[in-house]
Structure 1
Amino acid sequence: MTNPTVVGFSGNLTRPSKTRGFVEHFVSEIAHRHGLAAVTFDLDDVGTSLGAARWSRDLDDTGRKVLDAVVTAEMLVIGSPTYKGSYTGLFKHFFDLVDPAALRGKPVLLTATGGGERHALMVEHQLRPLFAFFEALVLPTAVYATDKDFLDGALASEAIRNRGEQAIDDASSLLISRRRGVERASST
Structure 2
Amino acid sequence: MTRPLRAVAVSGGLQRPSKAVALSEHLLDLIADAIPCEQRLVELGQLAPHFAGAVWRSQLPDVVERELAAVEQADVLVVATPVYRGSYTGLFKHFFDFIHQDALIDKPVLLAATGGSERHALVIDHQLRPLFSFFQARTLPLGVYATDQDFSDYRLQNVALIQRAQLAVQRALPLLGLAKLARSVHAEDVVAT
The percentage of counterpart residues that share the same residue type is: 43
2:111 corresponds to which residue?
Answer: 110
Once residues 96 and 133 of structure 2 are traced to their aligned partners in structure 1, the CA distance between those partners, rounded to angstroms, is: 13
> What are the within-5 Å matches in structure 2 for residues 1-188 of structure 1?
2=3, 4-180=5-181, 186=188
Task: Give secondary structure in 2 for the equivalent of 1:71.
Answer: helix
Q: Which gives a bigger RCO, structure 1 or 2 (Cα 8 Å, sep 6+)? A: 2
Q: Which amino acid aligns with 2:103?
A: A
Distance 1:162 1:3, change over 3 A: closer
Q: Which amino acid aligns with 1:170?
A: R
C-alpha RMSD of matched pairs (Å):
2.0
Once residues 55 and 73 of structure 2 are traced to their aligned partners in structure 1, the CA distance between those partners, rounded to angstroms, is: 21
Distance 1:181 1:71, change over 3 A: closer
Structure 1 residue 59: deviation in Å? 1.1
Structure 1 residue 178: deviation in Å? 3.5
Does the Cα contact within 8 Å between 1:47 and 1:62 map onto a contact in 2?
A: no
Distance 1:184 1:55, change over 3 A: closer
Unaligned runs of 5+ in 1: none
Task: Give secondary structure in 2 for the equivalent of 1:15.
Answer: coil
Unaligned runs of 5+ in 2: none
Once residues 102 and 88 of structure 1 are traced to their aligned partners in structure 2, the CA distance between those partners, rounded to angstroms, is: 21
Does the Cα contact within 8 Å between 2:124 and 2:145 map onto a contact in 1?
A: yes
Could you list the structure 1 runs, at least 4 aligned residues long, displaced by more than 2 angstroms after superposition.
1-4, 44-47, 177-187
Distance 1:56 1:116, change over 3 A: same
Once residues 74 and 133 of structure 2 are traced to their aligned partners in structure 1, the CA distance between those partners, rounded to angstroms, is: 17
